[in-house]
Amino acid sequence: MLKQAVDKYTVDGETNLIAVKRVIDKWDERNSKRVFKSDDEGLLIFNLIKEETEKNVGFEEPVYELNGDQGAAYQANKDRINQIINLFRDYNTGEPNLEVMPAQVKANLRKLEKENKKIRQDAIAGNRDLIRKSKAFRREYRKVFNKYLKTEYTKYYRKLHPVEDMYITSGDDVRVIKKRWETILKVNKGFDKEGVSY
């Protein structure tokens, strides 16, 4: 593939390296499956982001209990969401394929996520200190998140919504949250190092 690209973009002994790189990048996007490194506690990149956030805000991530039926319902919803999304992942890229995901499935995912949001809100309702700390932590977490990762619409989402920009967040924007099945994560340039990315 590389030789063919070099041959194609070489004229009078001069190779257009930008065009060759474009061919390589397209090939890489089509043929590589990127996987984030993980350990027993989960993805290493998220551990790094959490630790840096805790250092910046000066306190550990606020924890609230989801007791009894609420905790079980929350976990069941979370497991179900992951199972559904995994059914529709493209084997090569890992992106959820929205072209084959029925509208009813998308509606079910939204319903499950809405239920979990309500469970989380109910768990901290009435505790002002926990609400304040939770908001401060989430705001700083998003800033640190954007430092290491970028959230990008999947190619399937962009096919269905061609007017949308490729990237969702930039800089310190903390407001934009998109559904997980519409997006993929990529490591920001400069942070592709041991323990952080694929």
Is residue 33 situated within a structural domain? no
Partners of residue 153 on adjacent β-strands: 183
Distance CA 51, CA 61 (A): 9
Same domain, 3 and 89: no
Is residue 195 situated within a structural domain? no
Distance CA 186, CA 15 (A): 30
Same domain, 51 and 102: yes
Same domain, 49 and 86: yes
Same domain, 177 and 108: yes
Type and span of the H or E element at 42 = strand 42-43
Distance CA 186, CA 167 (A): 10
Residue 136: predicted pLDDT:
92
Residue 29: predicted pLDDT:
59
Same domain, 95 and 172: yes
Residue 197: predicted pLDDT:
42
Block residue for tokens 């959230």: 151
Is residue 34 situated within a structural domain? no
Is residue 57 situated within a structural domain? yes
Distance CA 57, CA 139 (A): 10
Residue 121: predicted pLDDT:
85
Same domain, 109 and 148: yes
Is residue 171 situated within a structural domain? yes
What letter represents residue 62's amino acid? P
Q: Which two tokens stand for residue 137?
A: 């932590």
| Residue 155 zone, left/alpha/beta (φ > 0; ψ -120 to 50; rest) | alpha
Q: Provide the CA 196 distance to its chain's centre, in angstroms.
A: 14
Same domain, 46 and 4: no
Domain count within the chain:
2
Is residue 32 situated within a structural domain? no
Helix residue ranges, H only, 37-154 = 44-57, 68-87, 103-124, 128-148
Same domain, 55 and 101: yes
Is residue 96 situated within a structural domain? yes
Is residue 166 situated within a structural domain? yes
Which residues of the chain are under the pLDDT cut of 70? Answer: 1-2, 27-43, 93, 161-181, 189-198
- Is pTM beyond 0.85? Reply is no
Distance CA 167, CA 56 (A): 26
Structural domain range at position 54: 41-187
Q: Which two tokens stand for residue 39?
A: 């350990």
Distance CA 187, CA 45 (A): 9
Same domain, 17 and 92: no
